[in-house]
Amino acid sequence: MEITEVRIMPSKGGGKIKAFASIVLDDCFVINDLRVIEAKDGHFMVTMPSRKARNGQLRDIAHPLNTGTRKMIEERVLEEFQRSRDSRAVPAEDGARAEDARRSPLDRLASRLLSEEFWVRRGGREEGR
């Protein structure tokens, strides 16, 4: 079995889930909704697609039957996740750049227009007007 394609979609909210992934096996079988999660110690792990059962417990929809297969999937998904972070498709959590990446263009423009620096007088006239 070979993973022939991996797609990474960044998560829209903050929190533990950093991205969702889909994998294609042997160009003929797709598994969607794998999650890339950041653990408390800062490393990333991959969880299998799951849903809540009637009793409230989460149950995997699809999962590997052995450790070797799980390791192969996790390594490949995390490799693609890191590649997407490096290319900024998934924003990194580093200070103001990460905060700016999560804000909409309209919010960034509004904060610039409302900042005092934008309206400071220079050369006898007000800038921005």
Question: Does one domain contain both 73 and 15?
Answer: yes
Verify that 81 and 99 share a domain, yes or no.
Answer: no
The tokens for 56 are: 């409230």
CA distance 102 to 13: 8
> What are the two backbone dihedrals, phi and then psi, of residue 109, each rounded to the nearest 5 degrees?
-65, -45
Greater confidence (112 vs 31) lies with 31
| Predicted pLDDT of residue 6 | 93
Question: Domain tally for the chain?
Answer: 2
pTM score of the predicted model: 0.64
Residue 112 shares a structural domain with residue 81:
no
pLDDT tens track for 2-18: 999 999 998 887 788 89
Average pLDDT, the chain: 80
Q: Residue 52 is part of which domain span? A: 3-90
Looking at the structure, tell me whether residues 55 and 13 fall in a common domain.
yes
Looking at the fold, whether 82 and 102 belong to one and the same domain comes out as no
